[in-house]
C-alpha cells in the first residue's frame, strides 16, 4: 500500500513546475494589455493571483514549505496592492521587501527539489526554467528598493516612470545580458547589483545545464548497467 501511495503522490505533483512556467509566460504576454483602466487592473490582479497560486502549488510537496510560502506571500501581495490603491510609499516598499523574501524562498525550494531529483524529466526542465525567471523577479524588487532608498540610483528615459514594471523590464534585460541601455544604473550600489545579476544569470545557465546533462548521463549509465 505504501509504495502505491507514494506513486500516486508523485503523479499528483508531476506537472507542477509546468503549470508555474505557463503562468509566468502568460503573465509576460498579457501584462502589457492589463494596464490603464480599473477593469484591466482588476483582471491583472486576478491573473497575478493565479500566478501566486501556481507558486504555492510548486512548493506544496511538503506542508511546511507550503505554509511558509503562504505566510510570506499573502502579506507581501496585500502590502503591494494597498500601497498602489492608497498611494502609500511605505506600504509599497514594505511589500517589495516581502516580495524579495518570498521569491527567494520559492527559488530555494525549487532549486533544492531539482538537486534532489533522481532523473531528468520534463518537469525538472520546467523547474529550471521557472528558477531562472524567479531570479529576475526577485532582483526587480531589489532594484525597486534601491531606487526607493536612494532616489536617482537609476537613470530612466522617462523621469516619471519608476514603478515595479520598469524594474522587472530592467532586471530581465540585465539577467539575459541584453543591456539595451534605456535604463541605466547610476549609483555605485545599483551598478554593483546590476553586475552581480548579470553574472548570476550566466552562471545559472552554465551550472544548471551542466547539472541536468550530468544527471541525465548518470541515470542513462545506471539504466544500461541494469
Tens-place pLDDT, residues 153-182:
999 988 777 778 899 999 999 999 998 989
**Domain spans of the chain, in order of start:** 2-225
In this predicted structure, the answer to whether residue 3 has a pLDDT above a threshold of 70 is: no
In this structure, the strands spanning 184-185 and 154-155 are antiparallel
Identify the burial level of 17 via C-beta atoms within 10 angstroms of its C-beta, where 0-12 means exposed, 13-18 middle and 19 or more buried. Answer: buried
* Domain 2-225 classification at class level: mainly alpha
Comparing 181 with 7, the larger pLDDT belongs to: 181
Tens-place pLDDT, residues 181-202:
899 999 999 999 999 999 999 9
The three cell numbers locating residue 61: 510537496
How distant, in Å, are the alpha carbons of 46, 88, 210, 212 from that of 134?
A: 20, 26, 20, 19
Query: How confident is the model over 16-32, as a mean pLDDT?
Result: 86
Its pTM stands at 0.85
Which has the closest alpha carbon to 140: 71, 82, 194? 194
Tens-place pLDDT, residues 43-84:
666 777 778 888 988 888 888 999 999 998 888 777 766 766
List the beta strands (DSSP E) in the chain: 154-155, 184-185
Mean of all residue pLDDT scores within the chain: 82
Rounded CA-CA distance 57/114 in Å is: 16
Rounded CA-CA distance 24/85 in Å is: 24
Contact status, residue 171 vs residue 143, Cβ threshold 8 Å: yes
Amino acid at each position: 500500500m505504501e509504495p502505491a501511495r507514494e506513486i500516486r503522490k508523485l503523479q499528483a505533483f508531476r506537472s507542477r513546475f509546468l503549470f508555474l512556467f505557463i503562468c509566468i509566460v502568460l503573465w509576460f504576454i498579457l501584462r502589457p494589455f492589463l494596464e490603464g483602466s480599473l477593469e484591466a487592473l482588476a483582471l491583472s490582479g486576478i491573473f497575478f493571483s493565479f500566478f501566486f497560486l501556481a507558486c504555492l502549488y510548486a512548493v506544496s510537496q511538503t506542508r511546511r514549505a507550503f505554509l511558509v510560502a503562504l505566510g510570506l506571500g499573502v502579506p507581501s501581495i496585500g502590502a503591494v496592492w494597498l500601497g498602489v490603491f492608497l498611494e502609500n510609499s511605505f506600504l509599497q516598499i514594505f511589500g517589495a521587501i516581502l516580495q524579495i523574501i518570498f521569491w527567494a524562498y520559492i527559488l530555494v525550494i525549487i532549486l533544492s527539489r531539482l538537486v534532489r531529483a533522481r532523473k531528468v524529466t520534463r518537469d525538472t526542465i520546467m523547474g529550471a526554467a521557472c528558477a531562472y525567471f524567479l531570479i529576475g523577479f526577485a532582483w526587480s524588487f531589489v532594484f525597486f528598493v534601491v531606487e526607493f532608498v536612494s532616489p536617482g540610483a537609476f537613470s530612466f528615459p522617462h523621469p516619471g516612470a519608476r514603478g515595479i514594471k520598469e524594474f522587472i523590464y530592467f532586471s530581465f534585460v540585465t539577467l539575459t545580458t541584453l543591456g539595451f541601455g534605456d535604463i541605466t544604473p547610476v549609483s555605485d550600489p545599483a551598478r554593483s547589483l546590476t553586475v552581480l545579476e548579470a553574472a548570476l544569470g550566466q552562471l545559472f545557465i552554465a551550472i544548471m545545464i551542466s547539472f541536468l546533462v550530468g544527471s541525465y548521463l548518470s541515470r542513462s549509465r545506471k539504466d544500461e548497467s541494469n
